[in-house]
Amino acid sequence: MAKCLRGWENWAGINKTKGFAISLCLIKSYLSRRKKSISAMKGSPHKSKETRIQEKIVSVILYVLRGLSEEGKADKHSLFKVIYLADKHKLADYGVPIIQDQYIKMSAGPVPSKTRDIIEKAVCNAHSKASYFGQHIHDLIAPSESYFLTAKQAPDMRYLGKVDVHYLDAAIQAIREIGIGPAGMNERTEITHDAAWQSVAELGKPIQTRAILLAGNASAEVIDLFDQHNELESIL
């Protein structure tokens, strides 16, 4: 366990002892490009904001499942923990998460509620008409025994930028080292019972994104950028 946590201290090439390793200029440049991207996508007459959010979540699910095992098969708990850890560390470094989801405090750690709903309502429901680029979601992600899921297709990488992939890959590696499936569940749960999870008193209640940001040891500059991004999202 200690070895795993030490790995997170220096994960993705960021040395915490040297302070904030990614320049503020780079973060602002990233957010500027994101603003332009959001504005361009907002102008699309074909897809609503919620559809774009769903499609990115499905892209992330497919990417993570294919990363956790050669068969593209993994349990929901491992999937959720990869997404949470990747979101947490990207939030701490850039002030924005990978996916726009609401994390809920559960006994086994934070659960991304929109991601969970997609799995329960679209993947595990053969009658669902929910689609992903013209294909039914349940034709792309198949449920199997003991809460496992299998990715039957590669994700559309247009929804995953290099920064997203960087953080997802680091989180996938960390969870693979712990182990997917029942054997690694206790340790996976432990590393996500962090300050953000502890900040919520009751199970089933939402975890504030700011709490996740702070749990990732974000700098004051990133916290300010996070506030700016939230203001942008409220406008768009």
* pLDDT tens-place string over residues 204-220: 999 999 999 999 999 99
Domain-located, residue 21: no
Number of domains in the chain: 1
* Residue in 103, 99, 133 with CA at minimum distance from that of residue 196: 103
Domain-located, residue 85: yes
Q: Which of 51-60, 125-134, 173-182 has the highest mean pLDDT?
A: 173-182
**105-139: per-residue pLDDT in tens?**
999 999 999 999 988 877 767 667 777 777 778 77
How far does CA 130 lie from the centroid of its chain?
Answer: 21
Does position 189 have pLDDT exceeding 90, yes or no? yes
Report the share of the chain in percent with pLDDT over 90: 53
pTM comes to 0.80
d(CA 117, CA 76): 12
Classify the C-alpha dihedral 93-95-101-104 as positive or negative: positive
Match 């693979």 to its residue by tokens.
176
**146-174: per-residue pLDDT in tens?**
689 999 989 989 889 999 999 999 999 99
Q: What is the dihedral of CA 42, 121, 155, 31, to 10 degrees?
A: 40
pLDDT class of 36 with cuts at 50, 70, 90: low
d(CA 192, CA 167): 16
pLDDT class of 50 with cuts at 50, 70, 90: confident
* Residue in 53, 89, 90, 83 with CA at minimum distance from that of residue 68: 83
Q: What integer pLDDT is reported at residue 3 of this predicted model? A: 44
Residue 174's Cβ-count burial label (10 Å; 0-12, 13-18, 19+) is: buried
Domain-located, residue 7: no
Domain-located, residue 34: no
Element (H, E) at 56: helix 49-68
pLDDT class of 18 with cuts at 50, 70, 90: very low
More confident residue, 225 or 190: 190
Letter for the amino acid at 222?
V
Q: How many CA atoms lie within 13 A of 148 on its CB side?
A: 15
Q: What integer pLDDT is reported at residue 200 of this predicted model? A: 97
Q: What range does the domain containing 213 cover?
A: 47-235
Domain-located, residue 61: yes
Domain-located, residue 123: yes
Domain-located, residue 25: no
Domain-located, residue 167: yes
CB neighbours of residue 3 within 10 Å: 7
Q: What is the dihedral of CA 29, 33, 34, 35, to 10 degrees?
A: 100
Q: What integer pLDDT is reported at residue 219 of this predicted model? A: 92
Q: How many residues does the chain have?
A: 236
